[in-house]
Structure 1
Amino acid sequence: MTVVGYARVSKREQNPKAQEAELQAAGAERVFVDHGDSSRVKDRPQWLACMDYLRAGDVLLVRRLDRLGGTERILIETLHELEDKGVDIKSLTEPVIDTTTPMGRALFGIVAVFAQLRVDTIRENTRLGLEYARAQGRVGGRPTVMSAERIEVARQMRAQTPPATWDTIAKTLHVSSASVRRALAQSENINAGLPRPRSADHLSVRST
């Protein structure tokens, strides 16, 4: 088990050294630092390096949970990805965020449920708004980067044993993991009841 730290500041003129020192003092053996990267951008260079470095059983240490993402959507997706990798998370300034203890896991689960509920509510309101706009002859939204070919590759990679992680699929397809999740969810809704696709034996992907 390795304790890994992650720090981030949004502006170049900000100094991340204080965060880095706190994480090291709390036991982080290695600290990844994004300097001048927006919290609303998920594919930050050092965060991607951190995710690649983390292994099942490791603990990710942050000063505050918002260091991982500036929106609830990004934060929830990130937490799901950490859970998929078998990585625990601990916040230095938020005692409730500590999945290394039974009580921490329980309290964190409650926080995550309410955050997910808020995101789902926003998503549902957006969907209703788009449906209303279409009914009025207006079409909203933007084109997806997930083509039919990319969706099929993503589906096959998830069907592997063990399944490829969302980050691995996203890197392979050169898209965000959010785009992959969304496209597969939409595809599953459309194709509900169809048999699961065969495993992609011809793809060689490292999954952690």
Structure 2
Amino acid sequence: MSYLRVSTSRDQSVESQRHAIERAGWAPAKMFLDEGITGRRIDRPGLQSMLEWVRDGDTVVVYSLSRISRSTTDLLGLLERLDRQGVALVSLSESVDTSTPAGRLLVTVLAALSQFEVDTLRDRTLAGLEVARAQGRVGGRPRALTPEEVVMVRGLRASGVPAQSIAVRMGVGRSTVYRALEQ
């Protein structure tokens, strides 16, 4: 069986993972998948179904360890649970097979390196944001309405114009109008 997961990104698809698994010679009878769910969540429905389905002697195939877990702690806990159930994990990207002692060692080392990479990326991102703020740059989406337009929205609403009409007139969504009124 296999487990496939894609994050919340709209650009991702499980098809590339499925194709890689089949191309590697694994033709799983059962595929479990989670779409639009971050790997940081342990309560993923597809993962939970897979964990309930597996039996002693089964092998779970994943495209990459990052598809099944995003933290070292969760991955090691998951591996321990699979091991207790007599289930092996094969990861194609890392060439890991936990049915062997060397595979179990390698997956532990790779999990630690993956966590290090995540932590390092987070630190670099935070440092970059701090530098940008110090230079007066603020990230995020640009405001839909200028301060002058917010004043106009409030004036229109005060004169009894419905929020939907204001939204159409200003070229924004109704929720933007309501946010402007709350400011």
Query: How much does 1:94 deviate?
Result: 1.7
2:86 & 2:56 partners in 1: Cα distance? 4
1:18-97 paired onto structure 2 within 5 Å:
18-25=16-23, 26-95=26-95, 97=96
Q: Stretches of 4+ moved more than 6 A in 1?
A: 115-118
- CA deviations on 1:50-95 (whole Å, 9 max, x unpaired) are 1111111000000011111101111111101100110011111222
| TM-score under structure 1 length normalisation | 0.48
Relative to 1, partners in 2 of residues 1:37 and 1:107: Cα closer, same or farther, differing over 3 Å? same
Query: What is the TM-score when the length of structure 2 is the normalising length?
Result: 0.54
Partners of 1:5 and 1:61 lie apart in 2 by 4
Q: 2:14 matched to which residue of 1?
A: 16
Q: How many residues align?
A: 110
Counterpart AA for 1:111: L
Q: CA deviation at 1:98?
A: 0.9
- The two structures, once aligned, show a CA RMSD in angstroms of 2.2
Contact 1:24 1:30 in 2 (8 A): no
- 1:20 CA displacement: 1.9
Please state how far the C-alpha of 1:114 moved relative to its aligned partner.
4.4
Post-superposition shift, 1:108?
2.2
Equivalent pair of 1:39/1:68 in contact (CA under 8 Å): yes
Contact 2:7 2:37 in 1 (8 A): yes
Contact 1:10 1:36 in 2 (8 A): yes
Unmatched 5+ stretches in structure 2? 114-183
CA–CA distance in 1 between the matches of 2:104 and 2:52? Answer: 25
Percent of aligned pairs sharing the same letter: 26
Within 5 Å, give how 1:121-140 maps onto structure 2: none
- Looking at structure 1, the residues matched to 21 and 33 of structure 2 have their Cα atoms a distance apart, in angstroms, of 11
Shift of 1:113: 5.1
Cα distance change on mapping 1:55 and 1:10 into 2, 3 Å: same
Contact in 2 for aligned 1:23/1:31 (Cα 8 Å):
no
Unmatched 5+ stretches in structure 1: 119-208
The separation in 2 between residues aligned to 1:62 and 1:94, in whole angstroms, is 10
Once the 2 structures are TM-superposed, how far is the Cα of residue 110 of structure 1 from its aligned partner?
Answer: 2.3
- Structure 2 partner of 1:99: 98
1:110 & 1:35 partners in 2: Cα distance? 29
Paired with 1:70 and 1:113, the residues of 2 have a C-alpha distance of 13
Question: 1:92-149 CA distances to partner (integer Å, 9 max, x unpaired)?
Answer: 1222x1134xxxx12223235547889xxxxxxxxxxxxxxxxxxxxxxxxxxxxxxx
Bigger radius of gyration: 2
